[in-house]
Amino acid sequence: MNTHPSDSFVLGRRDFLYGLGASLGSVALTSLLRGEQPTIAASKAHFPAKAKHCIFLMMEGGPSHIDTFDPKPELTKRHLQEFSRAGERESAMSSGKRYFVQSPFEFIKAGRSGADICSEWVHLKESVDDICFYRGAQAESVNHPTACYHINTGNRFGGDPSVGAWVTYGLGSVNENLPGFVVLPRSSYPQGGAANWSNGFLPAQFQGTPLRPQGSPILDLNPPPGVTRQRQRTNLDLLDELNQKHLDARPGRSELEARMGSYELAYRMQTEVPGILDLEGESQATLERYGIGGRKTDAFGRKCLLARRLVEKGVRFVQAYAGNWDSHDYIERAHGSLIRSVDRPIAALLKDLKDRGMLDETLVFFCGEFGRTPDNGLRGGGKSYGRDHNAKAMTMWFAGGGVRGGHTIGATDELGMEAVECVHPLRDVHVTLLRLLGLDDNRLTYYHAGRFKQLSQFGGQVIHELIA
């Protein structure tokens, strides 16, 4: 028996009974009986949604919580204190002689909430009362590719659907002329590549659509010279007729169905996408607010403004990448430059969404794949010190979309080495994100390889402290 739900098969007694109790309930069972792919895109969310859209700001490389949103005065007292780490190694670089390292940055109390924030965040500090900082998350890997896969797909080894794929699978798309899940990557893809926004074992139409940062955002978006819209329509109709005959003889093949849908979507996108990507319609004040035109801020400023425009047009899930935050050396210079490159754009995004009345229904999620250690090996001495990878402590934050703005949840120990309050694994973060969007991780499942699978892998807990 094939295990893919969209393949034709005869339900055995055990499969039939299991289907009745499966988390998609009657929707999934009906789909199985009809030989269709199970989807709840046409149904209502499992819960009243706090947010309708999500913008995921992925800080690839592992930003240091100690140098951004989680100050550690104890490190100042122990600065350059030598010790030796034995036993479990956080990474290949973390054994042997070590030195505690203070943050090179000053911290301030910002907003009415008095949130802790590095003073390098000149613009973001104005929005901290809309932000819920979370210091209790823990990852499971200190290797970049596996950690990126984990935060993006829930599986450290890749091959599973990304968060954005699960969300669009569950909720569908609002605008039929645009993909439900759009990715705004860096010029170089993150470690692990496009698998970070893959559809995995979900039907192919749920994969993220990356927009290129330079040149044409999507290759071959526009037809070649001399090809009219009518000619395109005629060609697509013929191609659809041939593909449909092929599909009728091989029912339930999601790859071909997805390709047919992609042709039609690409045809519609030719009229929708250029208008969204053209920033000429934005005021000069808006462009300046996002840092567009600035040497350091232009690239991420364009991504943040585009994310707002995409959400405004109905895109369900947008992921924007920034990096590289992997500062093993010269953290003052490296992290300082990176903070300045994203500070103005992110602050502008939050304020723009709020001014337009969109923040309440848009969940903004900021994180990296892990945090960083309070110590290093001081290669070179002086101000060259940085930090190694740390899966046991990290800071992420949420804004809008039903979270507790103006609060800091959880805590790490006095050195920032390990989360000690409101501690949760990443699967609980994923479950909470889905809940804010009205989805139940235990009911948002897909039958694959002999069992019903879900984003959390085997279930998780909602972090209620984050939800307003």
The per-residue pLDDT for 283 is 92
Q: What is the pLDDT of residue 7?
A: 36
State which H helix or E strand residue 116 sits in: strand 115-118
Q: What is the C-alpha separation between 392 and 142, in angstroms, rounded?
A: 9
pLDDT one-digit tens code per residue, 176-188: 888 899 999 988 8
Question: How confident is the model at residue 231, as a pLDDT?
Answer: 64
Residues near 460 by Cβ (< 8 Å), separated by ≥ 6? 425, 427, 428, 430, 431, 441
pLDDT tens, 41-62? 434 689 999 999 999 999 999 9
Q: Is the pLDDT of residue 445 over 80?
A: yes
Calculate mean pLDDT across residues 167-182: 90
pLDDT at 275 over 90: no
Read out DSSP for 58-96? EETT---GGGTT---HHHHHTTT-EEEE-SS-SSTTSSE
155-159, 238-242, 274-278: least confident range: 274-278
pLDDT band of residue 215 (cuts 50, 70, 90) is: low
pLDDT band at residue 244 under the 50/70/90 scheme: confident
Flag the least confident range among 34-38, 128-132, 154-158, 236-240. 34-38
Whether residue 148 is predicted with pLDDT greater than 80 in this model: the reply is yes
Per-residue pLDDT tens for 347-358? 999 999 999 999
pLDDT at 339 over 90: yes
The Cα 208–Cα 263 span in angstroms is: 16
- The region, left, alpha or beta by phi > 0 then psi within -120 to 50, assigned to residue 212 is beta
Look at residue 281 in the predicted model and tell me its pLDDT.
Answer: 82
Higher pLDDT, 219 or 261: 261
What mean pLDDT comes out for the span 11-16?
42
The confidence band for 259, taking pLDDT boundaries of 50, 70 and 90, is low
Which stretches does DSSP call E strand in 168-315?
181-184, 209-210
pLDDT computed for residue 88 by the predictor: 53
**Integer Cα distance of 94 and 182 in angstroms:** 37
Residue 194 pLDDT more than 90?
yes
Is 108 strand, coil or helix? strand
pLDDT at 247 over 80: no
Rounded-to-integer distance, Cα 123 and Cα 311, Å: 22
Contact 302, 166 (CB under 8 A): no
Closest CA to 41 of 163, 162, 152, 165: 165
Query: What is the percentage of the chain residues whose pLDDT exceeds 70?
Result: 75
